[in-house]
Structure formats: C-alpha cells, structure tokens
Amino acid sequence: MSTDAHSLSRDDVAHLARLSRLAVTDEELDRFAEQLGVVLGAVARVQDAPTADVTPTTHAVPLTNVHRPDVVTPSLPREQVLAGAPAAEDDRFRVPRILGEEA
Amino acid sequence: MSSDLTRLDVTALQAALAGGETSAVEVTRAHLDAIEATDGALNSYLHVDTETALATAAEVDRARAAGEELGRLAGVPVALKDVVVTDGVPTTSGSRILEGWRPPYDATVAARLKAAGTVLLGKTNMDEFAMGSSTENSAYGPTRNPWDHDRIPGGSSGGSSAAVAGFLAPWAVGTDTGGSIRQPAAVTGLVGHKPTYGSVSRYGLIAFSSSLDQAGPMARTVADAALMHEVIGGHDPRDSTSIDAPAAPYVAAAQQGAQGDLTGTVVGVVRELGGEGHTDGYEPGVLEAFRAGVEQLRALGAEVREVSCPSFDLALAAYYLIAPSEASSNLSRFDGVRYGLRVGDDGSRDLDEVMALTREQGFGPEVKRRIILGTYALSAGYYEAYYGQAQKVRTLIGRDFLTAFGDGVDVLVSPTSPSVAFPIGQRVDDPLAMYAADLCTLPASLAGLPAISVPCGLSEGLPVGLQVMAPALADDRCYRVGAALEAAQDAARGGTFLGQLAARA
C-alpha cells in the first residue's frame, strides 16, 4: 500500500475493495480514495496518544468464559430458514460455483 | 378523544386503558390514522402492519374484558427501529441488501415488548446498518424532523425519533453505537437513553459494532424511558455479553428525581465537551441552552464542578477506527447466500463474483466507506497503528471517567450534540462533518457507560439536549438527574417540551 502517511491511493482502495468483496465502480474509487484519505488523516490522531503502558480495551464490561449448560435446544425449522434464502434446492442453500473454470 | 390519544405519554395511556376511558383498539387506530395522515411527509416508518396491529390490540381488549391477567404494557403501541429483528415482519436495517426479508425469529427486545402486551405499530427508518447521524444514509429515503421538515431528525435512529416527536408512536426502541439514540432524541426534543453496555440484550439486533451496540428507549418523558428500559432490560443467556445482574429500579429513580431535590448530588461538567477552550464546532445557542440546564441542576441543589477528561479529545478518532473495523467483520455475513439480495447469479459467475456484485448493489456509500476503512485498519502492518492504538485510547477514556467518578462526581454532563438539527443534504458528502454530530456521545459509548439525553431548551426554535453520563450499571442516576431536570423545565415552561411542538401544529 502507499507509503504516504495517512493516505489511501486509488490502488489501495481497489485492493481493499477486493478484499471486502465489493465490486466498486471507477467513479467510486476516485471518490472513496479522496474521502477516506480525509477520514484517515483525522482518525490517525490516535497515534499521538500516550499509550506506552496502556493495555487495550476490547469490551467495556470485562467478561470471561461465559458458559451455558450443554443442553440441546430446538433449532429453527429448515423450511423457515431456507424461506429467506435467495436460492434453495433440495433442502439446502444453492450457491454459485465456487471454483473457476480453469481450476 | 381520538386525536388526543396520540398526544398522551405512555404513563397517561396506561391509566386511560386501565380506567376503561379508552381501548387498545382505539389507541392503536388513533396512531395508525395519524401515520396514514402525516407519515407521507415524515417518512418515519419503513413498514406498518395495520391489520396485525389492530388484531393484537383487539386481543388485549378481549383479555381485559375477560378479566385475564395482562402484561405490564398491555395495549400500549410501540415502534421498533428496523435494526431489530421481528418474526415474520419485514426487517431491512435500512439497507437494500435486506429488502423484503422476513426474519424467522424475534430479537429479545421485540419478544419482551410482545410478552408485555405492547402493540407493534411498525418498523422505523434508520441510517443503513445504523451508520450515520441523520437518517440520510437509509436506502429508503431520508426521514424529516417534525420540528422542521427541511431538517434531519438525527440518526441513526431517526425514524424512531421522528415517529415519537411527530405523535406517530408514544415511544420507540432505538439503538446506540456512538450516539444513535441520544443525538436523534436531542434534535427532536425527546428523552433517549443508552443503557450500560450489556444491560439490554443484543440478541436479534443486526450487528454493526458489537462491542458498542446497545438498544434503548426513546420516549417523551424520562419516566416512560425508564419504564421501557425495565421491560426490555435484564440478563439474556442468548447474548454472552449481557450482564447477569439485577436491573436497578429505573422507574422509581425517575419518580424520585421528579420530586426535584438534587441536594448532595455532584454534577461534573466536562470541559472537553463544549467547555472553555473546547467550543470549536459548538453552536452558541446549544451552549447557552446547555448552561441554562446546568444552572437548573444547581438550583435543584446539585453541586456543580468542572471536570477535565483530556482523553475525550481522541474519542472521535478512536471510534471511527473501532466501529468501522467491527463493521467490516460483522457485515461479511451479507454474502448473498443465506438471506437478502443476490445479484449476477446467471450461471457464468462464480461465488466470489456474485458476492462482490451483490454487496456492491446492496450497500450504500457510507457502508462501503466504513467496510473499506475497517478492512484497512485491521490489515497486517496497520493493525497496531490503527485498531490496536484505538483500543488503547479506549482504555484512556475509561480511565478519565473512573478518575472523575472516583473524585466524588456522581454524574457527568455535556451537550448531547454540538448543533441543532442541520438541514437535509448539508453534510451528506462530507463524512467528517457528519461524524462531528457524535462528538459528545462517543466517550460514554467507548467506555460502555449509561448516558441519557433530556431536552434542555430551544436554539433557533429547535430542540437542544443535555446529556447525563453515569458509571457502569448506575443507569438509575441518569433517570434520577434527568427527571429532575425535566420536572424543573416543565415547571418553568408551564407544560411539556413537546407541547411546544404540538402548539405549533
């Protein structure tokens, strides 16, 4: 990615969009690169914080190892779950092919 | 009495229903008629189910007539933000990618309101996936502010705020990740409370930023907000971050506060949120109304001190790294396989291509920006500098709160938002300007603390909110101090805050 401090090039955004499975348009690439550069400049301020001996907070309320009893409970009926799917076949979610032609 | 029924707060509605002065069907019909008449202009609802609402209300009336045991909120209408999953009722989270989806189960919040006997009026508009401060990021068009139709109702719970302020629901559920209950409540003249993180179950809320998301009440009075919190709150084994501790008696706290005696309560005014040297970006009218509110707290007997929380200056930067990072992960579930939209599945494209096309067409620009930013902040080589550092800032913000509360301060106060409702369209292409609306609400979000917004006056004829923040699990302090301020304001005004809006209509 670009070596410039706190900026995102058009190529950076294209790469990140690919990682995020977003088929962005050329026009979006231009706009997002500009807007996200501004946002990144602002959020990069976190790097000025005095955090030498500071541990990160992942959750506001510390909780560890929340267990529940190992008891079988009913699941949603299959037909109800599949009813919301864009495509279903033989009681399963139908998906486009996963491997490319050449694979 | 029908047009008056939409003007009543929930406590008054409950009394009228219990006393037989009206019926659940009458109350429901009055709201449905009002929606029919005025929501074309406001666009506060995405879905209204007239038939089911009337049938639910009729069942409450039948049960009441038969002398059966009734739920605590029997016959009281409610609106739910469309981020709350509802069994068989369309749920979109404001996104095109979920258009037409009917979930197969109820969120815990929805189930608890149902069990209490409420009548669901409908689902309210919102910024897509709760990302925004104006409701302009909805895929289904912006919602308008009942105080001025050319202005935003706040966001992301802007459909809920507009519906309640516009007399199209007596109260509503909102969700708050960085201010999405409090800021819309402030700019529409409502009470909005973000509970302590873990106080209300997140089960069945479409996730945006899981370490921050909380559902909570948006109402016309502090007492009503407290009542809803009691009903939707409490431990839920289906949410592993839900706190397994008894909920404090919020309604009692509101009643106590309404008596107007704050003697012995220490109120800290946060310098970094609109105080000396920190007024950039704050409207003078907002600061004036806020200071008048603080003076009212002092007049009620509170001891007022200024408190410095230096790390709050970094809250916005930390939030806009943490929330997009978590969102980029949470939103990966929208893959065009199990629910919602699928685009380009014509047999020639593989799963990856179909997924990318689906997400490109299904998501709006702000959602895409946040996914891209979050993916960047979490990527190898940048993780420590951005996400890791933001999580450390979060610790510093928590410490500032702990220091203030440790020094004997009971609650901290600030304006809820730096500005009144801004004009529709003004900030939509300027993400940073939009984010600035959350400046005051972010610290409590990042620290997981409870915070309420209560109306404290008007600026340029538009509502201003005062925010009260309290330590974790001390939501009752928000209700107590909020109710005291509300009672003092109502007494000085000689009527309710929203009465001013009703008088204009």
Question: Catalytic pick from B44, B81, B325, B419?
Answer: B81
Residue A1 has a pLDDT of 54
Q: Is residue B68 part of a domain?
A: yes
- Overall size of chain B counted in residues: 505
User: Is B494 within the bounds of a domain?
Assistant: no
Amino acid present at B461: G
Chain A residue numbers touching B376 (CB-CB < 8 A): 8, 12, 16, 36, 40
On whether residue B360 sits in a domain, the answer given is yes
Same domain, B221 and B343: no
Dist. CA B104–CA B492, nearest whole Å? 49
Stretch 54-93 of chain A: residues touching chain B, C-beta under 8 Å? 54-61, 63, 66, 68, 76, 80-81, 83-87, 93
What's residue A3's pLDDT?
43
The total of other beta-carbon atoms located within 10 Å of residue A73's CB is 6
Among B388, B415, B450, residue at a domain's last position:
B388
Q: What is the pLDDT of residue A2?
A: 47
Straight-line distance from the first to the last Cα atom of chain A, in angstroms, rounded to the nearest whole number: 29
Same domain, B48 and B161: yes
Predicted pLDDT at B3: 56
Rg (CA), chain A: 23
Q: pLDDT by residue (tens digit) across B375-384?
A: 999 998 999 9
Question: Does residue B462 sit within a domain?
Answer: no
What secondary structure, in 3-state letters, does B63-122 show? HHHCCCCCCCCCCCEEEEECCECECCECCCCCCHHHCCCCCCCCCHHHHHHHHCCCEEEE
Question: Per-residue pLDDT for A103 more than 60?
Answer: no
B375 contacts A16? CB cut-off 8 A: yes
Q: Does B394 touch chain A (CB under 8 A)?
A: yes
Mean pLDDT of chain B: 97
Decide if B371 and A20 are in contact by the 8 Å CB cutoff. Answer: yes
B479 phi, psi to nearest 5 deg: -70, -40
Confirm if B472 and B205 have CB atoms less than 8 A apart.
Answer: no
pLDDT (tens digit per residue) in B439-479: 999 999 999 999 999 999 999 999 999 999 999 999 999 99
pLDDT over 60 (residue B328): yes
pLDDT at B402 > cutoff 80: yes
Q: What residue numbers bound the domain in which B120 lies? A: 2-256
* Distance between CA atoms of residues B323 and B374, nearest Å: 8
Cα(B229)–Cα(B223) distance, integer angstroms:
10
Which residue in A42, A80, A98 is closest to B432 by CB distance? A42
Residue B58 buriedness (CB in 10 A; 0-12 / 13-18 / 19+): middle
Same domain, B210 and B72: yes
Quick one: closest CA in A to B378, which residue?
A16
CA distances to B266, B295, B311, B412 from B407, rounded to whole Å, are 10, 21, 17, 12
Greater confidence, A85 or A98? Answer: A85
- Name residues whose C-beta falls within 8 Å of residue B72's C-beta, 6 or more positions apart in sequence: B116, B117, B231
Helices marked H in B301-449: 315-330, 351-362, 365-377, 389-406, 431-435, 442-447
Q: What is the pLDDT of residues B46-83, one digit of tens each?
A: 999 999 999 999 999 999 999 999 999 999 999 999 99
Confidence of residue B1 (pLDDT cuts 50, 70, 90): very low
Please determine, for residue B316, whether its predicted confidence score (pLDDT) is greater than 90.
yes
Per-residue pLDDT at A100: 65
* B252 and B328, same domain (yes or no): no
d(CA B455, CA B437): 16
Q: Which pLDDT belongs to residue B238?
A: 93
Same-domain pairing of B21 and B105: yes
A45/B317 touch (CB, cutoff 8 Å), yes or no = yes
CA triplet B15, B19, B20: central angle to 5 degrees?
Answer: 120
- Domain boundaries along the sequence of chain A: 10-48
Same domain for B55 and B159, yes or no, is yes
Most confident of A73-77, B91-95, B345-349, B430-434: B91-95
Of B316, B341, B385, the CB nearest to A86: B341
Chain B partners within 8 Å of A44 (Cβ): 317, 386
For residue B459, being part of any structural domain is answered with no
Q: What DSSP element (H or E) covers B414?
A: strand B411-415
Q: Are residues B90 and B175 in the same domain?
A: yes
What pLDDT sits at residue A59?
A: 75
- What pLDDT is attached to residue B441? 98
What's the whole-number average pLDDT of chain A?
89
Residues B251 and B102 in one domain: yes
Asked if residue A60 has pLDDT above 80, the reply is no
Q: What is the pTM of this model?
A: 0.97
pLDDT tens digits, B140-178: 999 999 999 999 999 999 999 999 999 999 999 999 999
pLDDT tens column, B219-254: 999 999 999 999 999 999 999 999 988 777 999 999
Same domain, B81 and B194: yes
Q: Which of B44, B133, B138, B156 is catalytic?
A: B156
Residue B355 is assigned to a structural domain of this protein: yes
Per-residue confidence at A99, pLDDT binned at 50, 70, 90?
A: confident
Number of domains in chain B: 2
pLDDT in tens, B171-195: 999 999 999 999 999 999 999 999 9
Nearest chain B residue (CA) to A80: B104
Per-residue pLDDT tens over the stretch B102-141: 999 999 999 999 999 999 999 999 999 999 999 999 999 9
Listed residues B388, B421, B447: the one ending a domain: B388
- What integer pLDDT is reported at residue A102 of this predicted model? 56
